Amino acid sequence: MSDLGRTQRRIQLPNLTSVRRLSLWLRTHPLVGDTIMVAFLILLDVLSWGMFNVPPENYYSVGALLLCPLIIRRRQPVFAASIIAFGALLRIFTHPDDLSLPRVAEFGIFIALYTLVLLGNRRVAVAYLLFSLAQSALLISRAYYENPDNETAIEWLLINVFWSVALPAFCWLLGEFVAARRAYHAEVEQRLRMLELERDQQTKIAVAQERTRIARELHDVVAHAVSVIIVQADGASFVIKEQPAVAERSLRTIASTGRQALNELRRLLGVLRAEDENPEMVPQPNAGQLTELVDKVRSVGLPIELELTGNLDELPSGVGLGIYRIVQEALTNILKHAGPGAMATVRVDRREDSVTVQVLDDGFGTPGDLVTGGNGLIGMRERAAVYGGTLDAGPRPGGGWQVNALLPLSVRPTGPNPVR
> Does residue 393 or residue 20 have the better pLDDT?
393
> Does residue 278 or residue 378 have the better pLDDT?
378
CA 342 to chain centre: 32
Give the DSSP letter string of 181-209: HHHHHHHHHHHHHHHHHHHHHHHHHHHHH
> Does residue 183 or residue 6 have the better pLDDT?
183
Task: Determine the pLDDT at residue 11.
Answer: 45
* Dihedral pair phi/psi, residue 403, rounded to 5°: -130, 125
Most confident among 51-55, 172-176, 270-274, 331-335 (mean pLDDT): 172-176
Task: Determine the pLDDT at residue 378.
Answer: 76
Task: Tell me the C-alpha to C-alpha distance, in Å, between residue 2 and each of 6, 24, 223.
Answer: 6, 17, 51
Sequence letter at residue 120: G
CATH code given to domain 287-408: 3.30.565.10
Task: Tell me the C-alpha to C-alpha distance, in Å, between residue 310 and each of 118, 248, 348.
Answer: 73, 31, 8
Question: What is the distance between the alpha carbons of residues 38 and 311, in angstroms, rounded to a whole number?
Answer: 82
Domain boundaries, the chain: 3-150, 287-408
Judged by average pLDDT, the poorest of 50-64, 217-231, 356-370 is 217-231
Count each helix (H run) and each strand (E run) in the chain, helices first.
14, 5
pLDDT at 157 over 60: yes
pLDDT at 150 over 60: no
Task: Determine the pLDDT at residue 371.
Answer: 42
Quick one: pLDDT band at residue 356, thresholds 50, 70, 90?
A: very high
Quick one: pLDDT band at residue 51, thresholds 50, 70, 90?
A: confident
